[in-house]
Amino acid sequence: MGVFKYLIEKSILKSFFKIDLSNNESEIAIDSIKNKYLVALRGALLSGLFTIPAILFLDTNVLISILIPITMVAGTAWFAISLANVKKKFENFGLELTTNMFDSFVTSLILLGLLAMFSLLPSIFVPIANWGTTLPYVRPISGVLGLIIVFRLIYNVFSGAMKYDMNDAMLAGQNEVAERFFKKSLSLLHSSSENLRDGKGLEVANYYIGLSFYEIFAFIRASGVLNGSLSSLMEGAHKLKMNPAMGQEEADKIAISLIEKFASYCNNVDGHKAKKSFENIKDELRCLKENKKEPQMVVDTRLSTIFEEIAELLESEGEALFRSNN
């Protein structure tokens, strides 16, 4: 399939691969070509090959009447399917269902193309068809091969539909939950930033910092985009939330630790705006760690800037920010 891989990458998706892709985006594209497009194309081409006898030696009107609705269903389903919000642990399952639908759609297109070619070039194929019908068992064998391919098409549509419905059931309410988590976290981050900047009280600021990070790490854990345990981080945020009157040095240390961990989980920072926010977070963190004797007002201002940038980062990237590249 090396020829088809080259054709897909260098011709069909040529303009796509000219785009400046991140490592994660490039891996997703290559993985889709290898595990979806080439697999589906191989199955579709073999199906087309096995259907040629049925097209040559049998009544093609029956085949056309079957193919048209299958093509319409498979095509409509293929273009309607979206796995943008699929949970990470269901990614392989999602790949299976999109491969089923793509295979069915491409197979239908290839068969329709073969039907069109044989119909438009009768001077070439009619003599072959007339010769073949004189041979014994040609029609029964052609019918069996054609029937196998038709059932394969129907099975792929049925299998893909069932897998999509199961995946959709697993995502029930996920968008609503994600939106609620993000809106709450973003609101709390902005509140924390405002309290730090306006000096409304260290206890209030510490409470909002702890609450903000508790919500953020709770969302990351619930979304399933990270495999590692976040319990210790949530405990640190909980400690800050439950004891906001702790010494400022200890509170700053916990906040810095939580910010560092958050930054370490940001695997996919794409786009000029997101990269700018992420770099600003790292710069402010470096200053907090290196400038130990800065006045508390300056420290609070730096933390305020960091929380504003985290909010910007979450708003622009969403859950995809935490997806692993591996």
> 3-state class of 277 per DSSP?
helix
- pLDDT at position 258: 85
Helices (H), the chain: 2-7, 14-17, 23-32, 38-57, 60-80, 91-120, 122-132, 138-170, 174-198, 202-223, 231-242, 248-264, 272-290, 296-317
Rounded to an integer, the average pLDDT of 161-177 is 63
Contacts for 246-255: CB closer than 8 Å, 24+ residues apart = 246/206, 248/202, 248/296, 251/202, 251/206, 251/209, 252/288, 252/299, 252/303, 254/210, 255/206, 255/209, 255/213, 255/303
Which of 82-86, 202-206, 273-277, 286-290 comes out lowest in average pLDDT? 82-86
Burial class (CB in 10 A: 0-12, 13-18, 19+), 22: middle
CA 41 vs. chain centroid, Å, equals: 22
Is a pLDDT exceeding 60 seen at residue 263? yes
Rounded to 5 degrees, what angle do the CA atoms 311, 208, 306 make?
A: 35
Burial class (CB in 10 A: 0-12, 13-18, 19+), 157: buried
What percentage of the chain carries pLDDT values higher than 70? 80
- Determine phi and psi for 83, rounding to 5 degrees: -115, 30
pLDDT digits (tens, 9 = 90+) for 48-71: 899 888 888 887 777 777 777 777
- Determine phi and psi for 59, rounding to 5 degrees: -70, 115
Query: CA 281 to CA 314: how far, in whole Å?
Result: 13
pLDDT digits (tens, 9 = 90+) for 79-128: 666 555 555 566 677 777 778 888 888 888 888 888 888 888 888 888 88
Is a pLDDT exceeding 50 seen at residue 188? yes
The string of DSSP letters for 150-167 reads: HHHHHHHHHHHHHHHHHH
Exposure pattern of 58-96 as b/e (b: 16+ CB <10 Å)? bebeebeebbeebbebbbebbeebebeebbeebeebbbb
Rounded to 5 degrees, what angle do the CA atoms 260, 85, 25 make?
A: 65
pTM summary value: 0.53
Which of 144-148, 270-274, 316-320 comes out lowest in average pLDDT? 316-320
pLDDT digits (tens, 9 = 90+) for 37-52: 888 888 889 988 998 8
Q: How far is CA 69 from CA 45, 127, 153, 209, in A?
A: 20, 30, 11, 57
Exposure pattern of 97-117 as b/e (b: 16+ CB <10 Å)? bbbbbbbbbbbbbbbbebbee
Rounded to an integer, the average pLDDT of 155-162 is 81
Query: CA 93 to CA 169: how far, in whole Å?
Result: 13
Is a pLDDT exceeding 80 seen at residue 240? yes
Is a pLDDT exceeding 70 seen at residue 168? no
Rounded to an integer, the average pLDDT of 242-271 is 82
- pLDDT at position 173: 46
Is a pLDDT exceeding 80 seen at residue 34? yes
- pLDDT at position 122: 84
> 3-state class of 325 per DSSP?
coil
Query: CA 323 to CA 320: how far, in whole Å?
Result: 5
